[in-house]
Amino acid sequence: MSRVLVVDDDVQLLRALRITLRAAGHEVVTAPDGAAALREAAAAHPDVVVLDLGLPDLDGTEVLAGLRPWFTGPVLVLSARSDSRDKVDALDAGADDYVTKPFDMDELLARLRSLLRRRSDAPAEPVVVTDHFTVDLAARQVTVDGVPVRLTPTEWALLSELVRAPGRLVGQKQLLQSVWGPAYERETNYLRVYTAQLRRKLEPDPAHPRYLHTEPGMGYRFTP
Amino acid sequence: MSRVLVVDDDVQLLRALRITLRAAGHEVVTAPDGAAALREAAAAHPDVVVLDLGLPDLDGTEVLAGLRPWFTGPVLVLSARSDSRDKVDALDAGADDYVTKPFDMDELLARLRSLLRRRSDAPAEPVVVTDHFTVDLAARQVTVDGVPVRLTPTEWALLSELVRAPGRLVGQKQLLQSVWGPAYERETNYLRVYTAQLRRKLEPDPAHPRYLHTEPGMGYRFTP
DNA sequence: GTGCGGCGTCAAGGACCCGTCAAGGCCGGG
DNA sequence: CCCGGCCTTGACGGGTCCTTGACGCCGCAC
């Protein structure tokens, strides 16, 4: 069903969680400390992380900080500390839920279900491929028919915004905001100029775009 | 910042929440009972709902059930009952978090921030499906029999207003207001022209609409 | 039957938006 | 200093979309 990474140094609790989560149909990966947690999170690509704040090596919030820049799934924090200050800190550090020990197992499972229900199906694809060109977001490179093509910084910023939302329409305000900044919300000129350049460089027939479509009055859409 | 709908019958608590949420930069809409909650949720399009389970008219889970078919934002449940059984029921009924009274205000705010943060990362908007066409609110795309259909901005604005309230009647004043602006409350002409265009593009038999119904003198209704 | 109000349809005009091109300015490298 | 990318800006033609008015239909009240 889903892969759960459980981070805790309490062997007893770890064992109980493993059994219960397995019984609920989840695949379980465990880590006994912070370093292992970061390692396992990178290796196993879990759907959700259950993180105990009291770890032997790292502080729980440090693990959270190490996770958050790239891990987009939900994180449920376990802690013995019930002080609301701790809760606020953990939640603001990127946690999605905070459960104090001792906790009821059924409640934990229900909270996990709630978090997983929200999980979206867009796990940040690093490389986008079409019949005519490929866009490697990580390497910052696009190739057309296997041949690398150079893009200017602005062209790249615009293309990556569109490619990150395949099939979805991206509003012109949003494009202008994230490529040129909030002060340029009305400069739809730029969009026209740069989509034309992108089409010239990427589309097989720039006059009749097949991938970079424009929706008059609304925005642009990349369709793979 | 964000629009919060607070549902509670305790006037004291409602007042405290309103003040605190306003201070945190949120726009606050309130409802004292379940019926008003459903009404306000439809009218105000809140980003998040804070729902007390103990209401005078409806049970909280009934409100949740009425909300969930179409409201996709997060719902934070408040309750005086700390039994884990109640928590599990609420979470499985569609709640995203469960906080027991009495609660710490800072923690509530942090949990709201956490819920809203998710919304901005992964705007999980709904997809409305009928036998003949589908409307993807997030991608801003409608397909009829599998083929994408282009809608103009106005057509889209009108359709999304109707589709966001499936089965419910939407008054002409409300439609005109949210699509064309408050100054156009009397231009029912526009509604006739654009519903006709939508029907031509979406309905299998535009002359005998099956999904976009007219309620003479009142408004329009989308029935899935 | 007759009048009336609300609705659906159609078409035309004008405003708006888009694609295109090219000139000018800014900046860094040679 | 000059030169070449790159970004900005303006102008223009063509197409799209919104607005607006006219017309006929239907249901209802009288």
pLDDT of residue B120: 61
Picking from B84, B85, B139, the nearest residue to A168 by CB comes out as B139
Question: What's the pLDDT tens digit per position in B104-150?
Answer: 999 999 999 999 987 665 444 578 889 999 999 989 999 999 999 99
pLDDT of residue B123: 47
Helix axes A153-163, A172-179, angle to 10 degrees: 140
Q: Tell me which of A118-132, A180-194, B93-107 is least confident.
A: A118-132
Question: What's the pLDDT tens digit per position in B146-166?
Answer: 999 999 999 999 999 999 999
Residue B23 in this model has a pLDDT that exceeds 70: yes
Q: Coil, strand or helix: which one is B36? A: helix
* Phi-psi region at A70: left, alpha or beta (left = phi > 0; alpha = psi -120 to 50): alpha
Nearest chain B residue to A86, by CA: B107
Other Cβ atoms less than 10 A from the Cβ of B1: the count is 10
Question: Within chain B, what is the greatest distance between any pair of CA atoms?
Answer: 57
Question: What's the pLDDT tens digit per position in B188-221?
Answer: 999 999 999 999 999 999 999 999 999 999 999 9
pLDDT of residue A70: 56
pTM over 0.75: no
pLDDT of residue A104: 94
- How far is CA B176 from its chain centroid? 18
Provide mean pLDDT across the span A4-25. 93
- B214 strand C contact, CB < 7 Å: yes
Contacts of residue B141, Cβ cutoff 8 Å, sequence gap at least 6: A167, A168, A169, A221, B148
Q: In chain A, what are the domains?
A: 3-121 (3.40.50.2300), 127-222 (1.10.10.10)
Provide mean pLDDT across the span B14-27. 94
Provide mean pLDDT across the span A5-12. 92
Instruction: List protein-proximal bases of chain C (any atom < 7 A from a CB).
Output: 6-11, 17-22
- Average pLDDT value over all residues in chain B: 91
- How much of chain A, in percent, has pLDDT values that exceed 90? 61
Q: Tell me, in Å, how far CA of A208 is from C1' of D19?
A: 30
Residue A172 in this model has a pLDDT that exceeds 80: yes
- How much of chain B, in percent, has pLDDT values that exceed 90? 78
